[in-house]
Each structure stands twice: as C-alpha cells, then as structure tokens.
A and B are shown apart, each in its own frame.
Chain A
Amino acid sequence: MAVIADLSIPFLAPTFRFQWEEVQNCHVILYPEGMVKLSASAGEILRRCDGQRSVADLIIDLKQQFPDHDLGPDVKKFLEEAHEHGWIRTR
C-alpha cells in the first residue's frame, strides 16, 4: 500500500537519528544499539525530509541539484521503504 503521495510531507521519526558520519563518509540512521549506513542518494533524500516540504517539492529540489538523473519513481520507492522501516513519518 502506497503511503507516499506527492503532497505527503515526510519528516524523520523522533525515535531515529539521522546524521553525517565523517569516518564512515556517509549519512547514517541510528537507533537503539544499531546503525544503517546510507548510500549517497538515500542520504540526499532523507536530508530533505524536514517536515516542511512535500514529496513533490523534495523531488523538484533533487532534480535541480542532480539534473542528469530521473529521480521521481526511485525517490518514492525509497521513501516507501524508509516509511516501512519507521525512519520517517508523514503528515
């Protein structure tokens, strides 16, 4: 079931921590006694889940920064996964 629509506004769940790790050279998700290392694109997407912009705005923003990539469907797919893991919530 798709929970990520163009107008959903995603934000990071308060029970997870998202941060940049210098030594790992990537963004990570931290949770009780665990860590997930994120790919560069996953990091760029989650960085924009700020509870301010909608999914559509977030995709426009990514397209501006990475004009050579067709991001739309991949972004939504990743956000669905992130939602399933509980990393993000939407309003």
Chain B
Amino acid sequence: MSMAGSAPVSPIAVKPPLWLLAELTYACPLQCPYCSNPMEIAKYKNELSTEDWFRVLQQARKMGATQLGFSGGEPLIRRDLEQLIAEARRLGFYTNLITSGVGMDENRVRAFKEAGLDHIQVSFQASTEELNNFIAGTDAFEHKMEMARQVKKQGYPMVLCFVLHRKNEDQIRDILDLAVALEADYVELATTQYYGWAYHNREQLLPTRAQLAHAEMVAKEYQEKMKGRMKIYYVIPDYYETRPKRCMDGWGSVFLTIAPDGTALPCHAARQLPGLEFPNVREKDVAWIWNESPAFGRFRGLDWMKEPCRSCPEKEKDLGGCRCQAYMLTGDAANADPVCDKSPLHHLVTEQVERVQQLAGQKEFEAKPLVFRNMANSKRITENA
C-alpha cells in the first residue's frame, strides 16, 4: 500500500482479486496424466498449516475476494478441510470444493454442508468404468458415481467436470448421458490445457480435428436439449484457435492461487516462469503480494508487451494470451502466445497439431505410454532434468 498522501507507484489501477484458489496439497490418490500441477510436485512438501490458511483467507476476503476454490492435488486429503470451510463461510466466501470425490463418504459430504460448503465439483475421467479407472490410475469410478449422487441428494448445486482429450473425446455422448442421468446442474466439458503433466503428455492427449468437430456437434445438441435444466460449458482447445485465450482474465487481475507451500501465484502454472520471485504467504500479507510484489506486477496491464502484441488492435481483448504458454513454447514469457496466428512462432502450435492429425490412430504412435502423475514419476523426471 502506498504511503498516506503519496501518489500510487503504478499508473495501473490494481483491482482487488475476486478469486482465491487454495491448492491445499499436491498429494492425490489419482494419477491423471492430464494434471496441470507442476511436474515438480514431489519437491514441495512443506504444506501450510491450518492457521496459515486462516490468515490467508482473512486477508484475501478483506481485499474483496468472493469466490474460493479448495483444490489441489486432492483437497480431501487435508484433515482440516472442515475447519477451513467453516472459517471461509464465516468470512463470507462462496466456497467451491474441486475434487475427485476420493476421500469422501456420505457423512463427510454432510459435514461439509454443516460447515457451510456451497458447492462440490466432482471430476470424472470418462463415462465408463474401464476408461475412467485407466486414466485416473485407480479404481474410483463407482465411488465417484455414488459421491455425485450424494452431492445432489444433500442439496448442493451439482457441477460435473470431465476433462476431454484424445483418449475420451469420442465418448462425449455417453459422458453427457451420464451427466443427465446424475441430474447435473452444470457440466464442464473441460478441454485439457497443456500445462504441467498434460504438457508432458501432450502428444498422446491432443485430440484430432475430426474428434473436436464431433464433440462440438454433440455438445451443441445437448445444450439445446437440456436448456433450462442443465448448463453445459464446452470450449475447444486453444491449440486449434487462431487467437489466444484471455488467460486468467489478465495477470494479477482476478485470480490469486496459493500453492500448498504458500507460494502465491497469478495462476497455478506460473511457477515455472524464470526470473520471477513469487512471494510466500508465510512471509508477506496478501495485500502486499497482490498490490506491490514485482511478480504480480510483471505482466499486469499492457505495458510489458512486445510486438506483435504492442501494436495489435486486439491487445485489450486477449491481453496477449497465456504467459506460461508463451514461455513453454517460445522460451520467452513476454512473447505473444503462439496460439495467435499473428505470432511469428505460430507454426510451433500448428506443427504439433498437424503431427497429431497425421499420426493419431496409428498403432506405434498410440502405443507410447502416458506418464502418470505421481510422486515417483515426479522424482524420476524432475531429478534427471
């Protein structure tokens, strides 16, 4: 905060964060190869305490944050989740639990309700037991079904999330039928975003153009059919776009992620960006982190942009796209997101897409195993890197 009477340092008016994503732990009983957690999950062991989280919740709420997501990893692993929910509710947050459902039973669903939880989003990996359990790397499908029924029965709004990729994209009709059968209020057909583990497995996950055309048609059909009863969100992967997404609604603009070890991030993938020192809530308060830390100011607004973004008439619309994607694909986080066809490096995306069109379905290409998200793989891969 600036000193009383002094002019603010930055010319950009900093709006308060509206969304707090609390990644409570990187531990998870599932091993989804499309996980957007960092590959280095095994390195971050020093989780915040209950008191640390209480302090973060209070500070963020005071700044005006309204939406709170409990996420991870699998947030159900935290034994203090009920306490965290109760404190968040007391502070006036709208509380979202983003979970696989593994680690919950009927009683815990009820305990969360009593603590004031507003919403539970249960993720599924596929519409059939066999594929679901293969992708999740664990035997969880029947339990997820039961938890989805409990969520509905106990009066929560029900949001089902299906992460789509080449291995399950063709199940889209069965996936939507499953959502209808479970009486979901909202269905998120979440296209895989290529960060963390998903980036590592990108070649095996990227769907084909034909799959996407089919999925879009079916999604539209169900959107029409279920109008007024079930809201279906469907977005195509940005690799197939020619303009980038307005990532996180702008860097340091709406979203604040707190990683399990207390590192504060403008998005859950930002940790990989070089040259930025992300502050930790153990040392700094949320208002300083948001308003004054160099890391949160680094890509805020438009001044950081290089060409072709700087002179682009659409720069305020998409804000240059995703900083992490720019870094992962071009090596410089200040470049235009190469999803944009105005980027001189757009071919880095289209080459990947075309490679998948040509090779998908071929036995040898499809036989390459997925790397599952678990601590052993994290250690193996990141220690050799």
Contact = CB atoms under 8 A, between A and B. Distances in A.
B66 A28 contact: yes
Contacts of B260: none
Interface of A: 14-15, 17, 19, 21-24, 28, 30-35
B16 interface: yes
Contacts of B92: 19
A24 B94 contact: no
Query: Which interface residue of A19, A28, A33 has the most chain B CB atoms within 10 A?
Result: A33
A78 B95 CA distance: 27
B267 to A, nearest CB: 15
Interface in B223-250: none
Nearest to B62: A23
B278 interface: no
A35 B69 CA distance: 14
A15 B96 contact: no
Given A32-B159, A33-B121, 11 more contacts: A15-B155, A15-B156, A15-B185, A17-B118, A19-B92, A23-B64, A28-B66, A30-B66, A31-B94, A32-B157, A35-B18
A23 B92 CA distance: 12
Contacts of A21: 64, 66
10 contacts: A14-B155, A15-B155, A15-B156, A22-B64, A23-B63, A28-B66, A30-B94, A32-B121, A33-B121, A35-B18
Nearest to B19: A33
A40 B4 CA distance: 31
Contacts of A23: 16, 63-64
Interface in B106-161: 118-119, 121, 155-157, 159
